[in-house]
Structure 1
């Protein structure tokens, strides 16, 4: 399952180009040009984040924050009005981003907010796969119900992300942002070290592999037993 982002914006040119950028980063995007239709989707479907341009609509900002509840909201706008920015934050918007902001910077902000909500979801703390049971809360990986391996907190975070997005290419920079809140040369090397540690754990099992995907990311490949 990929991170789910809802973009509500009447500016179809911007939403198409930005959603295409996010999809290339392995993020699933739903776009809506109509605010009312977008709000209905927000109520009926699951999203990790909602990005909306309300074009100085203060009533709209109040409504979206009320409906979103526990879903983070980014206000993406062309206006630099100080009063509008302050009002948005007071109503509960997590971030106010100008449309002229570089896509890479917006992506970093999105990665950070998704990682914060992701690791707080307790319903995604226990995973059963192949002959393993992984408990993120206590950092343990149990094989065949009796061989228990204790993982470090960072190993657990990486494994949780890989399991949640199993059999999918998970962008390396996204992984780094989720685990270390930044992506640079140092964190990329750290990620390689922890990936290799996890690979050693699964080295004797041909059904579970961590693959490097064209040097852009990693994929946890799990082959179903029949």
Structure 2
């Protein structure tokens, strides 16, 4: 049974989604919270497979809550369900650490399909990751930088840069395929689970940040080949 934490301040909407999910074949257990602060408290007390959250809420908004969740864990799937539909809102939602951005109104069956797809994606990612201790301590060398993907950490000389989970995911994909062009769809599907317009715009924002983090060594380039993909170039290779 899939355990869902539904964080929503609209009681009527929360009741409809909870009731609909719990009646679906396959089974959901839905726990509700009315704001981000209450959501964090319930996450500290219980384990959930998915967090479904509104953005605009009293006490603590959804963006702040998700940012704090991602500082602690990358395992739980997070879906924003919101009426905020402008491109900047979608990009901000993905940048905060959400895996999916679903605009209201929507059918409960749509939410069910997205939840199931995200769970499969998370399970596939977990099974593909080596379980050995050595894999947990993996490190990539990028010219004079050292990148520790499991710690979301990028080091250069005596400086250390903390990365967000998505920044680390993107950089790890590029490091694994260093010198080879990786298609945008491959990156988007691996990191966001979708290759839509908004996640593609968000990817461009993340690539700009990664270039800035790596800018102290001119031998490193992150090249975007229009219509082809993205390539991490390290001239010492």
TM norm structure 2: 0.47
